[in-house]
Chains A and B, each alone.
Chain A
Amino acid sequence: MSSARASARLWQALACVAAAAWLFPYAWMVATSFKTLPEILADPTALRPRALDLGAYREAMSAMPVGRYMAITAVMAAAIAVAQIALALPAGYALAKVRFVGRRFAFGVVLACLLVPAQATFVPVFLFFAKVHMVSTMTALVLPFAASALGTLLIRQALMSVPDEIIEAARIDGASELTLVYRVLAPMLKPTLVSLLLVSFVFHYNDYFWPLVMTTDDTVRTLPLGVALLREQGTGMRWHIVMAGNVILSIPVLALFAVAQKHLMRAIRG
């Protein structure tokens, strides 16, 4: 009895140590963002700021237009997430529930695109957008991701388990194919769609690579790029300013994670 309790204590202690390895860096990040420059110079490792000094946040916000970058990032990520679902629903439906010549071929094309990450396409895609003078536009950020091979395949898979009778019944009721896809089938896939939407939004909100290679100026600069630039600009010790930027960048996704943990984790488990 007591040995069982002792081992339970041991597991709890070990779990706390493990959590500390992840929580300590965050704690340091938040603490540093509330420090002043003399404080950092005196002891950069201290976990408790002397007072909640907002100077680093003021400096970060004067060094970059946080509101504008945040809005651009949110619009871009939301546009991609919504477009992916809107396009994947009819495509997934056609692949799952309609019999036609060339279906295997279409399925193969979508499957093949799973193998090609943006890191293998950015050189030619950049050359293309440069040719049509569309580098540093919202289009260059959104359009290449408006269709998602993974999203299409996941929706197809989810639709395979929807009984054909439901589709037949909707048709007898006179539903058009679009009504059928968006009004009848989409609500049935709600958990899948919510997970897809969240994962896609978070991924593109966080993304550094694509906005970096597709923009050459400030017109559609996203927040991750702006925060990364905080470190590259200026001289001297700026860790408190960079950490303030880090906090601003991370809080929306962490809040989203706290609210929608179940959906995100389910999407990861597949």
Chain B
Amino acid sequence: MIPRSRVHPWVMLAPTLVLLVAFFIIPIGVAAFESFFAWDLLTPPRYVGLANYRAIAAHGWLFGVVLRTLAYSVLVVSGTTALGLSLALLVDRPGRLFVFVRASIFSAYVVSWVAVALLWMALLDDAEGVVPRTLRGVGLGRVSLLGDPRAALPTLAAVGVWKLTGYSMIVFLSGLQSVPPSLHEAAALDGAGPWGRFLHVTLPALGPTAAFVATTTLVTSFQAFDIVRLVTQGGPARATQLFVYAIYEQIFLDLRVGRASALTVVFFVLLFALALLQLRVLRVSGRSS
């Protein structure tokens, strides 16, 4: 640690701190302030107390938004974690083929959500899409995957799993590589077969990695927006109206700044709760970073 420095540390920190505070801390305060006003961006704002919060909570609307967002997140988290782990176990082998397979799966994580959403919209199209046509070909697929209110959310989550599995696979692969080979050797000496070694050595060693993958994916999925805006616009019958899209609708489609701000405050509180949960899970599972 160096005690003296010719430039004051605050000068070196200033640009970063000023920008971060201006664009990440103050906005939360501004949202809290605006949430007490009714404002349509055209006429002057009007103080309304807690009316915005009452309005979004009325008839279980807010509850529905939270529930849908959680449902989407849980589907994406379970899908990417299970599939990412299976694929990591599958491709954790030497050879160029497996390198290629790894890169193919991971590539979906690298391309834009726009490309992924539009591509799957075309593939899932009721009339011309490859997926419904194939399903009909094998005698399934009476259901409209994006048009049926019960199917739309799971369908979007499936696309999310396709997009994000490459990420969890890569994290699991690095988790697998950090399992000490000596543990496997010891288990083999004790007479454990491949299945026994997987159950008693690999799987427990991957616990922290799984906790990391699941909680990070939970936080990102909770912020999902692009796929909703591009594919379903919250429909059919609000079945895919996720949290961030609901905020977007309030401010840009309905010009209700106050309600959008109240929703933003609730969104921030929920994210904060998820972050605390993440911290707790990671601490318990023993992955500090």
Contacts and interface: CB of A to CB of B under 8 A. Distances in A.
Interface of A: 11-12, 14-16, 18-19, 21-23, 25-26, 28-29, 32, 40, 44-45, 87-88, 90-91, 93-95, 97-100, 102-103, 106, 109-110, 112-113, 115-117, 119-128, 130, 143-147, 149, 152, 164, 167-168, 171, 176-178, 181, 202, 205-209, 212-213, 224-225, 227-228, 231, 237, 239, 242-243, 245-246, 249-250, 253-254, 257, 261, 264-265, 268-270
Given A227-B118, A237-B128, A25 B16 contact: no
B2 A164 contact: yes
Interface stretch (B185-193, B195-203, B245-253): B245-253
Contacts, number: 261
A269 B9 contact: no
Given A22-B108, A123-B34, 5 more contacts: A25-B119, A44-B128, A120-B267, A205-B112, A268-B171
B105 to A, nearest CB: 5
Would you call the interface of chain A mostly helix, strand, loop, or mixed?
Answer: helix
Given A19-B104, A116-B28, A208-B226, A98 B271 contact: no
A236 to B, nearest CB: 12
B1 A93 contact: no
A269 B119 contact: no
Nearest to A84: B16
B261 A106 contact: no
A206 B24 CA distance: 21
Interface of B: 1-3, 5-10, 12-13, 15-21, 23-28, 30-31, 34, 41, 87, 90-91, 93, 95, 97-98, 100-101, 103-115, 118-123, 125, 128-130, 133-134, 162, 166-167, 170-171, 174, 223, 225-226, 229-230, 244, 247-248, 251-252, 257, 260-261, 264, 267-268, 271-272, 275, 289
Contacts of A202: 110
A146 B23 CA distance: 10
A12 B97 contact: yes
29 contacts: A18-B90, A22-B104, A22-B107, A26-B119, A29-B115, A44-B133, A45-B128, A45-B134, A88-B16, A91-B12, A97-B2, A98-B1, A100-B9, A113-B24, A116-B25, A117-B223, A121-B24, A124-B28, A128-B30, A130-B41, A143-B23, A145-B23, A147-B16, A208-B112, A231-B230, A237-B128, A242-B122, A261-B103, A269-B171
